[in-house]
Structure 1
Amino acid sequence: MGKKEIIKLEAQKELARREFFFYCNLFHPDFYRKDKKFLVDLCNRLQSFVESDKKIIVINMPPRFGKSRTATMFVQWLFGKNTKLKIMTGSYNETLSSTFAKQVRDMVATEKSQGITVYSDIFPDTKIKYGEASQSKWALEGSQVANYLATSPTGTATGFGADIIIIDDLIKNAEEACNANVLEKHKDWFTNTMLSRTEKGFKLIIIMTRWATNDLAGFILDNYEDVEHISYKAINDDGTALDEDTLSVEDFNFKTKHMDKSIVYANYQQEPIDIVGRLYSGFKTYVEVPKEKIKGIKAYCDTADTGADYLCNVIYTDCKDSAYILDIIYTKEPMEITENLVAKAYKDFEVNIADIESNNGGRAFARNVERITKSLSNYKTVIRWFHQSQNKQARILSNSAWVNNNIYMPVDWQNRFPEFAKDILSYQKEGKNKHDDGPDALTGVCEKMTNKGGFKVLKGVML
């Protein structure tokens, strides 16, 4: 190697120490090319994030565009910059977390070879501690505690405190993306396990394909403040490809034509699959109820079957062929509280007829509401309780078109009823839904309005 080449290589090494992108470019020049603007942007923003005061960054990217590769290289680079750091990475399962860990460890431990630039040429002071045999948990030379831990939702993080946590793609496929229980477990793992492992001044990096509105990325964006968010689409808004070498426009169109469109758009365009697959596309809204169409003010109450269920009480104006929602009580509070809430609402909204589902203890609830209603000097509301015998899921699906087309919500309904709105707008046509109480109640409104449903009247007369 000539003098000029040596000078050039040394300059590249120094640049790799200073700038994360050039570290990636030095070891993988064919992939981390300067003309791949999104990779330059990704690397620069990751570096800026760890150097800033921000705590959380969420990065959404399509598959095969360098998510995991960049994450593993970032851990390598961070250890090169600071051997005192403690970094924890979380992946979908133990196999993937071990693979992630192996890639980090193998790079740091690469032995010198004539004519080949290796990690120790860039960061000579960063070495795996002698005797550290574990792939998933190890220390750097000079450290008395572990510097690195790779784990997963089924793994362990006991006894490890982290300065930086990197979570890489927790969702495996569309089936998991539509499974509310799986998504809930991810959130529980994040809040109860990963967050409890953080040290003072910690940083959280979440890198994943955006599968569902309520996935971990969505949960963090909705519930945490000052989150930096980066989202890359495989096909830009102007119709050009983000990276023609990885996925061309032609290939994207082929996938869109021959694959499930909702999966393609979740994978490549960061459009959550549940937006495409949700049962209710949205609701019509109103500012004022059309008074000339009013037949009466009614209520439908779906009582909570178990402690995990919501009570959902919907008060609506019957306007002949449509229902205008006036109020919704959507809560997990115990019966002794909800009985009073519902009775008070019946008086406040001057409800004429209130239908209360009596399955699984609903009859006692209805009797108590009736008693409280009278104690409030409300003799206007007629309370009827009934047994619902038809399959809930079948009822919800078969009546969804009427609900979408004939139920009107207050214009600010998502702010007034946030929990109800979240559950109703994320309810899936297929897959496991965590809560069906909202859809069940709106379906009940539909059935009362259209005189459908498997009702067995236990008190009162069906109108």
Structure 2
Amino acid sequence: MELCEIINKAIAVDTPRSLDNAFDLVRELETLNCVEVQGKGGRDRGTLIYDPDNFDKAHELNRKIRASANKMVRDGVDPENMLGLYYRTHLFDAPHFFDSFCIYIEKDRAPEKRFYLPRRKQLLPCVEALQDLEDGKIELLGISEPPGVGKTTLAEFFLAWTCGRNPFLPNLIGSHNNSFLGGMYGEMLRIFDPVGEYRWADVFPGLGVVGTNAKDMMIGIGYTKKDDMRFKTLEFSSIGSGNAGKVRAMNLLYCDDLVDGIETAMSRDRLDKLWQMYYTDLRQRKVGTRCRELIIATRWSLHDVLGRLEQEYEGDPTARFIRFPALDENDESNFDYPYGLGYTTEALHKQRDIMDEPSWRALFMNEPIEREGTLFDPSELRRYFALPDKDPDAIIAICDTKEQGSDYCVCPVFYQYGNDFYLDGIICDNGKVEIVQERVAQILVDRKVKVCRIESNRGGTMFAQIVEKRVREMGGMTSIQTKWTQTNKDTRIQINSALVKERILFKDESLYSQNKEYRDAMAQLTSYSMMGKNKHDDVPDVLALFVDWQMSDKVNIATLIKRPF
């Protein structure tokens, strides 16, 4: 009978003793047919080359044992021994799998003091991406998350893990100042401490700190003092401090928040200088072909380091860029952790209310805003608290249908009073076309819109026909017009920007703080920049189309008046 079959049968018996036996056999399976390569002495202590099929099967079966042991703990079946087995399965995986490493090294910490498990659900996509980085599936990883959700601590855990796996390959960590790096230096020593609260030494037995340099912030990892090197396992250095000949990166270059604040983020010259320093002071310290790169940053600008790398590596499968906004598509917190950690939805809403829009979107939503060249500054927009106390001259709408992927269908509804147009309702939706069509028809009927123009590019005519049919079925009286647009989008937006600011009135910010759709539309408008690539420009475009329509056609509205005689 094959070993795998024996293990599966032991797991199926599902008793504490059978699971213990299965785990012993899994450990045997991992090393079955492996090859031991003898070391040459010194730091080269040799290595094991696993049979890939046996290795994969052993760890797959190990996860099944862990699930069974965890269930027994919850059910109260020999809980003490089964909890021990649960952690032994994580220890077995920990040298190879980052998720198990993070869980195991905190096993002795009180649940409320643990970093990883309370945050695991939200951080797991980052953990999986870091696993791919270590495994060589990608060479560059960029991560953007709100402040205070644990991204830097997770990176410290990753450093501890990759140092244990590759203790004799230097890692370079760079940031905007030494104070930040000094804190990280101290935290890494805490993780490595064999008598501290972390169980790192269990995962990498025999390894430990063999040399430190507090002044230059360097930590050497090895088996004996003889393993200490000139270029140590961990080297911390702030950007611009002159790193030539002082540090090198052979395993990992990790950069954390290279932008020191909003002053740098708002200056294109400073961002250009920062990019040059990153390339000459940090990236050129990479040595060899193995060195990978991790960048964690607030997305301040399209021209910050992470933004430029994202553009440079667009479409490259060896690079991955992931963003985790503070609020999800339902305006709920993505980071509401147990034990009062992270951010509640209410706390994030309050934070949003007191921050200016560009800073909120950069810091918490990971959407870089180009303040330089911003065409629709919030302070330049006309605002209103309530519609005039009389009937409008007309109620008009325009609809720019979505064309592809993440494009938005935008349909603002305007109440016309003389030459002023009050934007009082809006559809701003990048969902399924069928749902958006129904929503557009509904707002036209609910708002008693008299005329709606629908841009007919790329399927717009069919969209208009469906919307018109639904409006009639709902009893609405909106006249649907179609128009083919030929002008360049950016040119159209920029030419009509003055008229948008002159003729359109927007709700006061206090009136739409709880209206996600109106708020998202305003964010698109106020973040539009002439200086760079705009992620979403559908809202400024539809407003430009609207004022162009009004100024060129001069829509005439018939009104009732008293007979003069």
TM range (shorter): 0.5 to 0.7
Pick from 237, 240, 258 the counterpart of residue 329 of structure 2.
237
RMSD of aligned C-alpha atoms? 3.1
Pick from 93, 98, 106 the counterpart of residue 190 of structure 2.
106
Give CA-to-partner distance per residue, 1:390-436, whole Å, 9 cap, x none.
xxxxxxxxxx9878448xxxxxxxxxxxxxxx994259xxxxxxxxx
Residue of structure 1 equivalent to 2:229: 144
Letter in 2 for 1:149: E
Residue of structure 1 equivalent to 2:374: 279
Instruction: Measure the CA separation in 1 of the matches of 2:81 and 2:131.
Output: 32
Give CA-to-partner distance per residue, 1:116-167, whole Å, 9 cap, x none.
5522122123211146555612322224332221011232322222121000
Letter in 2 for 1:17: P
Give CA-to-partner distance per residue, 1:91-123, whole Å, 9 cap, x none.
120111222222123321x1326xx55221221
For residue 264 of structure 1, report the CA deviation from its aligned partner: 1.2
2:358 corresponds to 1:257 = no
Unaligned runs of 5+ in 1: 283-399, 407-421, 428-463
Pick from 177, 183, 186 the counterpart of residue 93 of structure 1.
177
Cα distance, 1:11–1:54 mapped onto 2, change above 3 Å: closer
Asked whether the 8 Å contact 1:59–1:206 carries over to 2, the reply is yes
Residue of structure 2 equivalent to 1:161: 248
Cα distance, 1:34–1:18 mapped onto 2, change above 3 Å: farther
- Counterpart of 1:17 in 2: which secondary structure? coil
2:205 corresponds to 1:124 = yes
Instruction: Measure the CA separation in 1 of the matches of 2:262 and 2:306.
Output: 16
Pick from 201, 211, 225 the counterpart of residue 300 of structure 2.
211
Instruction: Measure the CA separation in 2 of the matches of 1:33 and 1:2.
Output: 20
- Normalising by structure 1, we get a TM-score of 0.57
Asked whether the 8 Å contact 1:174–1:273 carries over to 2, the reply is no
Instruction: Measure the CA separation in 2 of the matches of 1:144 and 1:224.
Output: 34
Cα distance, 1:117–1:162 mapped onto 2, change above 3 Å: closer
- Counterpart of 1:205 in 2: which secondary structure? strand
- For these two proteins, the number of residue pairs brought into alignment is 292
Pick from 41, 61, 69 the counterpart of residue 125 of structure 2.
41
For residue 69 of structure 1, report the CA deviation from its aligned partner: 0.6
Pick from 144, 149, 152 the counterpart of residue 68 of structure 1.
152
Please, which moves more after superposition, 38-47 or 236-245? 236-245
Cα distance, 1:31–1:49 mapped onto 2, change above 3 Å: same
Asked whether the 8 Å contact 1:80–1:126 carries over to 2, the reply is yes
- Counterpart of 1:7 in 2: which secondary structure? helix
Residue of structure 1 equivalent to 2:283: 195
Letter in 1 for 2:264: E
Asked whether the 8 Å contact 2:255–2:294 carries over to 1, the reply is yes
Residue of structure 2 equivalent to 1:79: 163
2:316 corresponds to 1:220 = no
Instruction: Measure the CA separation in 2 of the matches of 1:244 and 1:34.
Output: 10
Letter in 1 for 2:308: F
Please, which moves more after superposition, 31-40 or 94-103? 31-40
- Counterpart of 1:128 in 2: which secondary structure? strand
For residue 35 of structure 1, report the CA deviation from its aligned partner: 7.0
Instruction: Measure the CA separation in 1 of the matches of 2:212 and 2:126.
Output: 35
- Normalising by structure 2, we get a TM-score of 0.47
Cα distance, 1:186–1:125 mapped onto 2, change above 3 Å: farther
Asked whether the 8 Å contact 2:173–2:237 carries over to 1, the reply is yes
Give identity over the alignment, percent: 20
Give CA-to-partner distance per residue, 1:145-198, whole Å, 9 cap, x none.
322210112323222221210000122332221022321222011111212111
